[in-house]
Every structure is written in C-alpha cells, then in structure tokens.
Structure 1
C-alpha cells in the first residue's frame, strides 16, 4: 500500500466513523466502484485504534470523571457513575450483533444495492427524528431506557449503510435528546464498541503472526485517522448546536440514488 492510499483510508475512516453517513458503506463502495482496496486486518485495526485515540483525547475529562466516580463514589458524582454503566449497557447489543453476525456482515450485507437501500431508509428516519422529535433533553437526563434503546440501534450498524453514529443519533433524537446530546452520547458509547472490536480483531492478528504495522504508510494512515476523527468530533458537536441534520440526510439520499443508478446501468436492462 502506498502513502496516498493509506492517508486516504485514514481520513475516510475518521470522517465517516463519526458523521452519520456509514464508514463501512463508503469503504465497500470505494472498493466496488473505484478499486480502492481495503488494506487488510492489520491496517483496519490501526485505523480503529486511531479513532479510539481521538475519542479518548477529546472526551478526556468525561473519562476522568467516570473513572473518579467509580474509584471514589459519592453523591457529587452520581451522574458520572450512572453514565459509565449506561455506556456499558448500551454496548451489549452491538457486541452481541458483532459476535453472532460477523460472517453475514462480511458477505451478504455488503452488496451495493442493500447498502443504497439502507442509506436511504436511515436517511429518511434521521430526517423524521430531526423534524418531529422534541429536542429538549440533555446528557444528565439520560435514563436506562435510553441506553437500552440507543444500544439496540447501535446493533443495526452491523449492516454497512446503516451507520453506527447515524442509527444511535437517530434513536437519541426520537427519544427527545437535543442534537448535540444525541451526538455526544453516540460518540461516548462508540469507545467501548471500538475497543472491543479492536481486541477481537487484534487476537485474530496475533494468531496470524502479522507484524507489518510499523511501515510508513501504516503509521501515516493511523495518524490521519486520529486527526480526522478528532476534528470531526469537535466540529460536528459545534455544528449541531445551531444546525440540523438535513445536510447528512441529503447526502445519504444522494449517495443512495447514485449507487442505485450505477447498479441499474451495470446489471439492469440495457
């Protein structure tokens, strides 16, 4: 893999992982239509570790607060302690889906037509949640019910085209969270699922004996994933303080339309 290819994939991972547009869909479509090959297990793990580093760095105070609440519980940090356990609970459905549906996620879920349909369907749901829900509740108002439902929504992201951030933010909006709160909770709950996936894939990597993760392209791709992830988190949270999700809805629908058009002209009637 050359340097430009590695950096491109790192940037795509950082952008699409946190924007509600589906990172896995973009990687599959780039490979299918443009021949941009995925770089394999080692590089995939590095990119996800890069996004995890960005999450830890940006939300460092939140993680510190939750750690302190667990280490020295008290009345003043009940919210942080409760938030930690809600994040754990919200991770369980996604972890179960990843464990039981891993093979399907790598095969039948990755066809362009299915991806296009899911892009459109989740785009419409995001639009409805953004338009009709009451965006009033903030992070301290998150409940156990919210954590369970948003966690179930995260499990749907096993299918490329759904988008982990898109499904969790949509559910958060339907539950009445503000746009920024829905995004913040989505980002926080992505850390354990990314960490778990990294450990799972890392064990596979150890068994394979691969040791090519210190090459220059891999290192630069890793750094690109960190920088693009951090900037995406930062600016999306600011963007959602004053704007709606409509730009992402339109992007999903446009991409779905393009993919369906490409598929029609490739495999449809001439």
Structure 2
C-alpha cells in the first residue's frame, strides 16, 4: 500500500538524514522529491509513485535538452526494472515504502548501478553510444526515436564528440523525427534553433541555447539556487 502525503514527508526526511549531505528533500505533500545535489548538467531524484502500490521511482535527466516527461526521465529506475537486475534479497530490501532504510537502499542501488555513470558526461555519452551501436549490430538499423534519439545526440553536442558536419547531421536526424515533440512542446522550437546555430558555426549561440535550456529546466523542476552548481559548456572533443 502506498504512503499518504504526511507519511511520505516523514519517510523522505528520515531517508535524507540517513543518506547524508548529498541528498535533500524538496517539494510539498505528495510532490516531495529526494534530490541528489548539487545539480549540474544532470538532474536526478527519487519520488514516491502516486498509486495504490506507491513504489519508489528514480528519475534522471540531462538538463541541456528539453526534459522527458516519462516516469523515469532520460534514464532512471523503477522497482520493476530493478527486479530484473538485482538479487532477490537486494530487491526485497527496497520494497517497504514505509521504511526509510528501504528508501536508502533504493537510492544507493540506483546511484551505484546507474546514475554515477549516467551523470558523468563522458561515461553518459559512452553509455548512449554503446546502446545505439548494440542496436545497430543486431540489425535493427537506426531504432532510436523521440527522447532516446535526443539524448544520444545532445550528449554528442554537449561534449563535442563529433565533427561539426556530423553534429549537424545528428541534429537534422532529430529535427526530422516524427516523434520530435515527445510530449514536450519545447522540442519543436529548441532543436531547430540549435541546428541553425550549428549550421552557422555559431558556437556562442549554441552554448547560450544549452545554458538557457538548463536554466529553464531548473526553474520548471523547482530546484533552489543553493542546490545548483555553476556549469560551462565543455570544450569540444573535436574542434570545429
């Protein structure tokens, strides 16, 4: 059975105490989220699913792009996914949502198994490339669409991992996607504008778009400035 708003407030507060200084509970009522802070280019939090079962869910997103409004964001975990990858006793230690220790176990598992690497720009890029290459090697062509395609391409753009002509081709691939909107209307404006900046070889305009999108996302997520760290767009791995 799920938690009431008051119960979730108590569990999240106790969980944060156990997790330590890198975690904070933000929000009110059922919308309290347990955030890992400070937030840089990657945002991640744990929330309590508002349902009869009321399971814990981990949400994560790259802030340089319009956010994914799916249950787990760009890359996160719910207990169904964990049940497929964790040992039975580990999985069972995360089930009781009334127990702050279960929240700690869940948070620690997704941090170790997923978010530590997803949060790192270079490792996150490598993960996306590995997943994409795996699909291609299995003869599925170019299966990525919607947010999955956007995450791969935006990791390439943010890190400058490819030549300018290749990045332009990548952005065209995103803009031409019939799933471009992906339930976020910002995508239909952001990606064509980013493509135009790359086609003009205007790196300052590109950086401004990425930083502005991050700021917009942070405002929408309601993260106070005290939990946000300053960032810059990394120097490109492949010079323009």
Which structure's residues are more often helix, by fraction?
A: 1
Higher relative contact order (CA closer than 8 Å, sequence separation 6+)? 1
- Give the TM-score normalised by structure 1: 0.27
TM-score normalised according to structure 2 size? 0.30
